[in-house]
Structure 1
Amino acid sequence: MTEMRTEVLQEILDEIARDMAHQTERGAVASYIPELAKADRSRFGIAVAPIEGDVLVAGDADERFSIQSISKVFTLTLAMERAGRELWSRVGREPSGNRFNSIVQLEQERGVPRNPFINAGAIVVADILLEGRAPDAAIGDVLALCRRLAQDETVGIDDAVAESETRTGERNRALAYFMSAEGNLREPVDKTLDVYFHQCAVAMSCRQLARAGSYLCAAGRKRGFADKVVTLDRARRINALMMTCGLYDASGEFAFQIGIPAKSGVGGGVLGIVPGVASIAAWSPGLDTHGSSLLGQAAFRELARRTGWSVFGPVSEDG
């Protein structure tokens, strides 16, 4: 994997945005969360934050959207610092092979989620961030980290989305109560879910999100920061989990076709990390049947093909 000249990369992004604008198959919005059902499927944005240089953007890259499960990358970053190795006694590190909100798998495994990127795993992570504190304090930590990483104090929580999630989140409540019954939640379920629903409602643009994820492509460092955001080892582990678990039960296919560690969210965003090169964010609200942006994945595939940015080597025309 190599860096590219700025003008060449900008041309590639512009061409991808033009191509995505003409796509007729755009997926379906996440209608089970009423506020997300209002999203415009015609929108598409992409941003690339190289380790060195300015963020490059195309399309609707400054339109803010609910990052949803992409927030799990940032909460995992906080939880690894807060809990250390104990984290892995409460949540696993294996791909799920099931839907991101599967209850059956959680019951089979006695309340220990497969990984921190499925809903049950992220709820455990939220419980770790909450432990011994009020929900506002834990939510404040998540928001402060997102603002710090994006280097933008305007990053915020979409209150309408948070309310919509809270009102319709019965399946997440079922997951949380089951884990509580198994002893894997230590705080009251309603408080833990308050943290979880609000983290999912963080709203960012592609430009902000690409900038926020850049510490993971730079071995835990971020340009302009005096200290590392995370250690090299933790950055490597987060990237590994993104590669194996970041697109839920389609993570293997994304790795096979594209080969970039990534995390998607049902708001239509996809955050990707090219180690040593760049952080990438794409957004389009229409989702595939696995719950990830249809055009976002297509954009990543084309970007990887045009740049050679795959941890497994060049991406061919036919995949």
Structure 2
Amino acid sequence: MRESLVPVVLMSHTAHIRSHRKPRRNASTLAMRAGVAGGVLSTLAVAGASGAANAAESTTTQTLDLSALTADLAAQVAQSADATQQAAANYELQAERDAAAAQAAQQAKVDLADAKAKAAAKKKAANEAARKAAAEEAASRSSERTTLSASASTSTSTTSTVSAPASGSVATVIAFLKAQVGDAYVMGGTGPNSWDCSGLVQAAFKQAGVDLPRVSGDQSVAGTPVSLSNLAVGDILYWGSAGSAYHVGVYIGDGQYLDAANPSKGVVIQDLSGYPASGAVRVL
């Protein structure tokens, strides 16, 4: 009788230990895991592509922004340069104007000083010429004054006599008066560039050493009365009554007199026929 052969299954000596046995993986689990892995890879791929695209777009945007910024900066620099150039031009123009104004002001000061110097020289020359003629005039006037004083003693008019020094000169008085022609009339003015009528007469006779009263009324009786038909150069003319005259002037010959007339005329020479005087007195 044949012996039946019983297959013998050889097992690993560790087969009976459960922890050493590898569990079987079925197809569905592997498939699921493969899908998940593919999805992850796809997501990473998409994310990578998207990041690359965004990076590219960002780079492009930054490039465009940088170009625009550069252009804008260049425009601002150009505008600033234009503004600086214009400001420099304006400053240079203003400097030229200021220099011209300063030069004009300086020239005006020089001209004014020159005019004053010429006027002073003119007056000085006139006064000097008058003083040189003083001696000659004093002799001829002395005898005439003596005659007038004798005839005035019989006059009924009230007068007061002002003594004149021997060196007194009508020429000095007239020269001084003519040097003031063109000066302004100012009430109460006593010179040197503005006068009222009595202030001018007082200053003129003071040049010859005669001290006259200050106001017209007193000057009208401060000498020997003279008729208007017997006037001589240097006689004081007055308008109004003797002792209360309201205006005075000095006779300069040829039917003319010189006075500080009024604010509109100033110091002028006028014809006696146009404004006849009320009377006259002689102190030189």
Question: Shared fold (TM-score greater than 0.5)?
Answer: no
Kindly indicate whether structure 1 or structure 2 has the higher relative contact order, using CA contacts under 8 Å at least 6 residues apart: 1
Q: Pick the structure with greater CA Rg.
A: 2
Task: Bin the TM-score by the shorter chain.
Answer: under 0.3
